[in-house]
Chain A
Amino acid sequence: MHIWFSVTASSKLLVILGFIFSNSRLKLLQRTEKQNEEEKGKNKVTEQNCLRSKQMSRRGFSSTCKLQGSHGELSSADSVTVHFINRDGERLTTMAKEGESLLEVVVNQNLAIDGFGACEGTLACSTCHLIFEKDAFQKLDAISDEEMDMLDLAYGLTETSRLGCQVRIKKLMDGLTVQVPVEVSDIRSQLEVGKQSKQ
């Protein structure tokens, strides 16, 4: 440790920069490695032949090998867990920052909910319609008139429905579970067509 103190400030800076640089190169390498592995898929021959070469190049970085999250770092202090139950019943769990709207969470975390947030959160559509649990719904902020107008047009409206672009994450929402409403299914399509013609 005493060596560190005796070295000049500028050389300390160089050492730190070098460390950061090698770390970022490692991240890039790991990401491209992952991509390459996905592309090859079931081609065992390539893997067998090149495993040796991979191991050799990996050895050089093994001492500084630290895997970091691919979605950027979220400090656990101000992020909460949110669960989305997709239309097909699949449960998607993700981390969300305090103050983000639920629409932003879906878009930023690249969740597999398609056709969500078509108007980019400007209260001009109802594609970010989400159904909350009763107790979670009551803790949400009051709904505005404009949101209510758009929500009325949504399909499958319930008493605990809100638009995701207007609901902001708060600390007390940790573990929140929301349901993405099911689309019009073919069985009900006849009724829908009938309803629409009466409008």
Chain B
Amino acid sequence: TQTWFGRDLREVCCRVSESHVCNQYGTSSSLPEETKKILQNGPDLEDFVSGDLADKSVWAEYKGNLKRQKGERLRLPPWLKTEIPMGKNYNKLKNTLRSLNLHTVCEEARCPNIGECWGGGEYATATATIMLMGDTCTRGCRFCSVKTAKNPPPLDPEEPYNTAKAIAEWGLDYVVLTSVDRDDMPDGGAEHFAKTVSHLKERNSKIVVECLTPDFRGDLKAVEKVALSGLDVYAHNVETVPELQRKVRDPRANFEQSVRVLQHAKEVQPRVISKTSLMLGLGETHEQVLSTMKLLREAGVDCLTLGQYMQPTKRHLKVEEYVTPEKFKYWEKVGNDLGFHYTASGPLVRSSYKAGEFFLKNLVEKRKTKVI
């Protein structure tokens, strides 16, 4: 191993010294002009040793490939790199969840924001999105790494009570509840979901509850049950543009069904705010995203979030394109122009990421304008 390491170091020094030699003595080498420029302007050995490389968070500075060519796998651009989750809050939250036998979509779907949300911080309370009805789904979608099984274990009857207890402990003012698909249950798990929300509201009536529900196979009675349980925001993700629905989602899900779910929730409970989410980077075109946003607005959806799709494991779809932060800002502007209550748009934005902040901030602003 010593010779191996030694040789590596020698090669790096060779490269560095060669570029310096070129500068100092003007010796001609067989390098093309472009490579010479990269060697001159690129990082030096000192940069590597000090650990302080340029922060290439702007598209103009990032020189990597962002659109997938045939046969390649794109590298992660710098604006998507996140810290490894650890710390006191993170561990405390994890222990609470395990002791109450609760699951979170944060862990199961490998969310990149887990460190940030669970860690909390000075200004934010630690929060997690609890996933009801277990950690095993009955559908296998090509973008999701939640475990799948034909017959998942039966529901835990203590779950609604335990969830309410955990959330009360954390002292949050905004919480998001989500669940797996349970096509093996006659009502798709709607009763269980509704019970959790009502328990939560009983314990703390001031808390704002958002539910990210499945489509219940289009069963509108189940949608009604959840919509009338007392929640404030009814969310259901369409995930992608209609043209890619078949490729990305399970065949039992489709665009029309999802939109119908959102429309019905508002019909039975007009007070509720509806919300949906799109993942970008799966191969959709600019026009497709624009027309999808228009369709959603026409269907009466109030809020929209846009995030970057990231491949969770090698069995899932490859990322077709890494959309730049600038493009996400553009979509945010389009969403606001179309008339959504709010459009949360960014590479690391997920359906429940900072959901409370966006919602409450927006509510406060809207109230201000109403007064005026």
Contacts and interface: CB of A to CB of B under 8 A. Distances in A.
Nearest to B318: A114
B150 A45 contact: no
A199 B140 contact: no
A107 B31 contact: no
B310 to A, nearest CB: 13
B86 to A, nearest CB: 28
A25 B317 CA distance: 36
A57 B31 CA distance: 26
B30 interface: yes
B141 A118 contact: yes
Contacts of A184: 243-244, 246-247
B131 to A, nearest CB: 17
Interface string B168-180: 0000000000000
B150 A115 contact: no
A119 to B, nearest CB: 3
A133 interface: no
B243 A186 contact: yes
Contacts of A189: 242-243
A44 B140 contact: no
A127 to B, nearest CB: 6
A57 B2 CA distance: 11
Contacts of B15: 43, 45-46
Interface stretch (B4-12, B113-121, B228-236): B4-12
A154 B31 contact: no
Given A50-B14, A107-B315, A42 B35 contact: yes
A44 B31 contact: yes
Interface in B8-24: 8, 10-11, 14-15, 18
Contacts of B142: 115, 118, 127
Contacts of A32: 4
Interface residues of B, number: 46
Nearest to B311: A114
B29 interface: yes
A131 interface: no
B251 A49 contact: no
Contacts of B3: 57
A90 B1 CA distance: 39
B30 A192 contact: no
Contacts of B250: 125, 153
A49 B3 CA distance: 17
B149 A115 contact: no
Contact of A126 (B244, B247, B251): B251
Interface string A138-172: 00000000100000011100000000000000000
Nearest to A184: B246
Contacts of B138: 124
B71 interface: yes
Interface stretch (B51-59, B187-195, B252-260, B263-271): B252-260
A114 B35 contact: no
A193 B10 contact: no
Nearest to B72: A112
A32 B30 CA distance: 26
B368 interface: no
A91 interface: no
Given A115-B316, A119-B140, A125-B148, A53 B243 contact: no
B70 interface: yes
Contacts of B204: none
B89 interface: no
B7 A53 contact: yes
Contacts of A40: 11
A43 B247 contact: no
Nearest to A192: B246
Nearest to B183: A124
B214 to A, nearest CB: 14
B125 interface: no
Nearest to B29: A45
A73 interface: no
Interface string A1-35: 00000000000000000000000010011001000
A196 B14 contact: no
A36 to B, nearest CB: 7
A118 B140 contact: yes
A38 interface: no
A116 B109 CA distance: 17
25 contacts: A36-B11, A42-B35, A44-B30, A45-B18, A45-B29, A50-B14, A53-B7, A115-B247, A115-B316, A115-B317, A116-B315, A118-B144, A120-B147, A122-B140, A122-B149, A123-B150, A126-B251, A146-B150, A153-B252, A183-B246, A189-B243, A196-B245, A196-B255, A199-B254, A199-B257
Per CB-CB distance, the 6 closest pairs between chain A and chain B, nearest first, are: A125-B140, A119-B140, A118-B140, A119-B148, A115-B142, A153-B251
